[in-house]
Structure 1
Amino acid sequence: MSGPEVIVGLSGGVDSSVAALLLKRQGRSVAGLFMQNWDEQDDSGCRAEEDRRDALRVAGLLGIPFFARNFAKEYWAGVFEHFLAEYRAGRTPNPDVLCNREIKFRTFLDEARALGAGRIATGHYARVDCLDGRWRLLRGVDAGKDQSYFLHQLGQEQLAATLFPIGHLPKAEVRRLAAEAGLPTAAKKDSTGICFIGERDFREFLSRWIPAQPGEIRDVRGQALGEHAGCWYYTLGQRGGLGLGGLRGRPQAPWYVVGKDVARNIVYVDQGEDSPWLMSRRAWTEPAHWVAGAPPGETFTCTAKTRYRQPDQDCQVRLDADGRLSVAFASPQRAVTPGQSLVLYRGEECLGGAVIAGTDAPEPGTAGSP
């Protein structure tokens, strides 16, 4: 007996449920597979067992085979250890990007092939096509839900084996289709944030792995204003959690994190959401990944996002000899953060991207102003 043609990553949410529904309606041989990527040992709110039951109910209603696999070991090695290392280094990582590259489109794809399937499908809001023999990653039609930013590390092998059945649909239509088909996930709330953190306070979670180490909060001139619990708990542009209200001789305006000195465990802050200490015109990255397998040129113009949901920013890109990128933006950018992903686009096509290594934002703690 041959395996299914396509295995859908059933997460227990509405998006993957409708992905499976549409593939079944197309007459494809479909199975569902639930991935458990984190071993729950507390009340994290990760809801893995609830999600598994919902995924099983969807598979039963659609009449498709159902598999469940525990990829927690692979997730720990491929995603979580890197997540902790980045925070220890004072950077702000994006585990969703790594999870897609290492788990959903590597470990899951390998498992699907072992089960006899030639392709996998997920409920991501993105699209894939093939033009002149080259597979392209395209934005989802619903601009508010587009997830190509998190998929930019995929390559030709993964895209050739991947279907995104809902990438052409707006979210409201996905909900409508789920309700019309009587799927038990039709009205289920979308998951937000990182699964292994769940509903808990982020700082409390991180302190389990990276213990608190109090240090000084200073203004951009180096004057001490207060104390923080550990500089790795803060990210550029952050407003909350500083405890700096009502400082004598200072304006009654919010404070924002504008820099960190990890070696000396200092967090620098300034007032004003668009503080000049947060602004940069240039960024440098680690070696880039290209969806096509190669860059479009040594220098080229395109648009970029330095964080999810950011509007596209015009930029000029230069490829260095070691594969790293030097990116010059057409307008100043706020809080471009090392460890996050800089993702490049030309129109609807996602070209690829890289992890941000640094910017030309002014360095706090020195005399003068930017």
Structure 2
Amino acid sequence: MNSLGLDKHPSQTRVVVAMSGGVDSSVAAALLKREGYDVVGITLQLYDHGQAVAKKGACCAGQDIYDAKRVADRLDMPHYVLGYESRFRQAVIDDFADSYLAGETPIPCVRCNERVKFRDLLETARELDADCLATGHYVQRVAGSQGPELHRAVDDSRDQSYFLFATTPEQLDFLRFPLGGRPKTETRRLAEELGLAVADKPDSQDICFVPQGSYAEVVKKLRPGSIEPGEIVDMSGNVVGRHEGIIHFTIGQRRGLNVGGFDEPMYVVRLEPEARRVVVGPQRALARDVVHLREVNWLYPAPVDGQGVPVSVKLRSAMMPQPATVYAGEGGTGTIVLDTAQNGISPGQAAVFYDGARVLGGGWIDSASLSEAAKAA
């Protein structure tokens, strides 16, 4: 059994590595190459070259493709660039624009993993007779009694499991994550030790196809004429201001509302896209303890017959997991009941549930409400 859990000698094990041009995927490829695996690098061209070179520091950009090629040459391994522009536009960019116009706060990186990297790229890896597909994500694949499990990374500050909740059990069987058991500092050190040109390259921070970090400008370009001004109202329906489009707002937002005359700070409580209305209220009005999900993916046997599973849940990527109970519904739906109400739960974000370090599953937030019991408390 080799280090990837396959009953083959490394030299007889072909591994396709998804190479973004960053330090993480480069080190993943280098480590596998050093162990003697038959490594093939693939980099995805996800959007127009002119757009790609306009965005410095984003993944899958023109410079990153060049950097991935340099690393592959340094490691003496084959490297291919695949044009996935059309698929990425349909599956990720269009979904991003439509979600914002619907009053949601989307996470395109999850959609990219779900619909492009772990679906189309995975199939390409199989076509290349690969035994597995490796990535530079900070997450762990752990052998369990009923098959591979997805676990949080050892380095909690770098954990990316929230963004991989849509990974299916079948995909997880084929995937490998060489960096999940290492801290980021060790990855940087290894990059220097292995002589990789990207050793000091900064991490990408922004969404790759948003050239200047302005989501609104991207949506305007993709959906011209669709962004319309409207009213800002309080919770009683009184008009307290105007706005230039609901895409400029998200649930829980406080800054940039430009409303006054209140005795306490106001927050965005609700977005009503059909009426082009932004509803604001005090912070206490944000509290929600029941979260309704769509497109739920289970990496653990889904509960049946109305049984709830105690979990800890993340409703945003940066939040601490909160105790809750999750119930499976029909048609890929689900419901989370939080032990304690939380503020700023936004449709379009992901809810990911854990049992300790293990990812049990997750889904997209469709709506949230405050239970009668919480109201009475």
- The verdict on a shared fold, with TM-score over 0.5 as the criterion, is yes
Aligned to 1:19, which of 28, 34, 39?
28
- 1:366 is aligned to none
CA distance in 1, matches of 2:346, 2:370: 10
Q: Structure 1 residue 41: deviation in Å?
A: 3.8
Relative to 1, partners in 2 of residues 1:140 and 1:296: Cα closer, same or farther, differing over 3 Å?
Answer: farther
- 2:362 is aligned to 353
CA distance in 1, matches of 2:96, 2:266: 27
The CA RMSD over aligned residues, in Å, is: 2.2
- 2:291 is aligned to 283
Aligned to 2:323, which of 314, 334, 346?
314
- For residues 275-312 of structure 1, the C-alpha deviation after alignment (integer angstroms, 9 at most, x for no partner) is 011111111111411124x3155321111111102111
CA distance in 2, matches of 1:75, 1:351: 27
Q: Structure 1 residue 70: deviation in Å?
A: 1.1
SS of aligned partner of 1:263: helix
Instruction: Check if 1:267 corresponds to 2:283.
Output: no
Instruction: Check if 1:58 corresponds to 2:75.
Output: no
- 2:262 is aligned to 250
The 8 Å contact of residues 12 and 37 in structure 2, kept in 1 or not, is answered as no
- 2:232 is aligned to 217
- For residues 317-341 of structure 1, the C-alpha deviation after alignment (integer angstroms, 9 at most, x for no partner) is 1222444212110111111111111
- 1:9 is aligned to 18
CA distance in 2, matches of 1:265, 1:336: 20
Residues matched between the structures, number: 355
Which region of structure 1 is more displaced relative to structure 2, 334-343 or 76-85? Answer: 76-85
Alignment map for 1:1-370 (pairs within 5 Å): 5-42=14-51, 43-45=54-56, 46=58, 48-210=61-223, 211-244=226-259, 247=260, 249-251=261-263, 254-271=265-282, 275-292=283-300, 294-297=301-304, 298-361=307-370
CA distance in 1, matches of 2:171, 2:31: 21
Q: Structure 1 residue 159: deviation in Å?
A: 1.0
- How many percent identity over aligned positions? 37
CA distance in 1, matches of 2:331, 2:122: 30
SS of aligned partner of 2:100: helix
What's the TM-score, normalizing by structure 2?
0.88
What's the TM-score, normalizing by structure 1?
0.90
CA distance in 2, matches of 1:204, 1:78: 19
CA distance in 2, matches of 1:289, 1:351: 9
In the alignment, structure 1 segments of 5+ residues that lack a partner are 363-369
AA in 1 matched with 2:136 = G
AA in 1 matched with 2:46 = N
- For residues 167-188 of structure 1, the C-alpha deviation after alignment (integer angstroms, 9 at most, x for no partner) is 0011111111111222111111
SS of aligned partner of 2:280: strand
- 1:367 is aligned to none
Relative to 1, partners in 2 of residues 1:295 and 1:255: Cα closer, same or farther, differing over 3 Å?
Answer: same
- Runs ≥4 residues deviating over 6 A: none
Relative to 1, partners in 2 of residues 1:172 and 1:198: Cα closer, same or farther, differing over 3 Å?
Answer: farther
The 8 Å contact of residues 7 and 117 in structure 1, kept in 2 or not, is answered as yes
SS of aligned partner of 1:149: helix
- For residues 92-140 of structure 1, the C-alpha deviation after alignment (integer angstroms, 9 at most, x for no partner) is 2211111101111111111112222121110000011221241211111
In the alignment, structure 2 segments of 5+ residues that lack a partner are 1-10, 372-376
Q: Structure 1 residue 20: deviation in Å?
A: 0.7
Higher helix share: 2
